[in-house]
């Protein structure tokens, strides 16, 4: 693996937080989205949540069980522009989304009945901060059997949806963008590292980490 913590550390940290953006949903809107998801005809108990990016290495909510699983019909893709957290309005970054087609291997978390509501509030405050992701009930295949889980699919109608970008364009953005919580290169490094630890080799992300490392090492970051 070419991308290292030393290379990631070369990206200047931007400590300034631009604050909530106009597109952020209100607490009431997020609560309504959560209620509608749990009331959906395809909803199942117990509730499972599918993670494919930072939810793998930093879930931030309590769970009773975790399994490696495969979601068919979707794949990871850097397709969401970010202007806060790991990017700025001046130098926006990119985050992963679930796009249609292919297979996405990740993890599923089973929420306990006693902690379900608080866990979901935490997940919604993070994943449904804007309407960029859409909660979707989907079947995830695991070695222990198939479970119905909530997956957060990219909203193609959102203003920050980029569509499919070339690997070179994605690498350029990931090698430069940094917000007040860290850089996009760090996000990529953590995702690839933890996927590898789970025995998951995402060929697209593996190529991207090499391209991003090349750009940082070559001092192309401005």
The residues annotated as belonging to the active site are 127
- Tell me phi and psi for residue 100, to 5 degrees: -70, 145
- Terminal CA-CA length for the chain: 24
Question: Would you call the peptide bond into 46 cis, given omega within 30 degrees of 0 as the criterion?
Answer: yes
Strands 145-154 and 133-142: antiparallel
In order of 13, 134, 147, the CA distances from 182 in angstroms are 7, 25, 33
Q: For 171, how many CA atoms within 13 A lie in the half-sphere containing its CB?
A: 20
Work out whether strand 133-142 and strand 93-110 pair parallel, antiparallel, or are unpaired. unpaired
């Amino acid at each position: 693996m070419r991308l290292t913590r030393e290379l990631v550390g070369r990206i200047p940290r931007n400590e300034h937080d631009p604050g909530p953006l106009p597109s952020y949903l209100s607490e009431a809107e997020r609560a309504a989205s959560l209620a509608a998801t749990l009331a959906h005809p395809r909803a199942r108990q117990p509730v499972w949540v599918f993670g494919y990016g930072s939810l793998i290495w930093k879930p931030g909510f309590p769970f009773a069980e975790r399994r490696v699983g495969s979601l068919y019909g979707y794949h990871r893709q850097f397709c969401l522009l970010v202007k806060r957290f790991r990017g700025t309005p001046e130098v926006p970054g990119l985050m992963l989304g679930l796009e249609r087609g292919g297979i996405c291997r990740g993890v599923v978390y089973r929420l306990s009945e006693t902690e379900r509501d608080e866990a979901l509030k935490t997940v919604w405050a993070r994943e449904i901060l804007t309407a960029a992701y859409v909660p979707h009930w989907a079947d995830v295949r695991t070695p222990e059997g198939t479970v119905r889980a909530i997956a957060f699919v990219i909203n193609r109608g959102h203003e920050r949806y980029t569509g499919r970008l070339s690997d070179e364009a994605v690498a350029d953005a990931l090698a430069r963008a940094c917000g007040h919580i860290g850089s996009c290169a760090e996000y990529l490094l953590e995702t690839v590292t933890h996927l590898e630890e789970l025995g998951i080799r995402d060929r697209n992300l593996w190529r991207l980490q090499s391209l991003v490392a090349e750009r940082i090492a070559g001092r192309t970051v401005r």
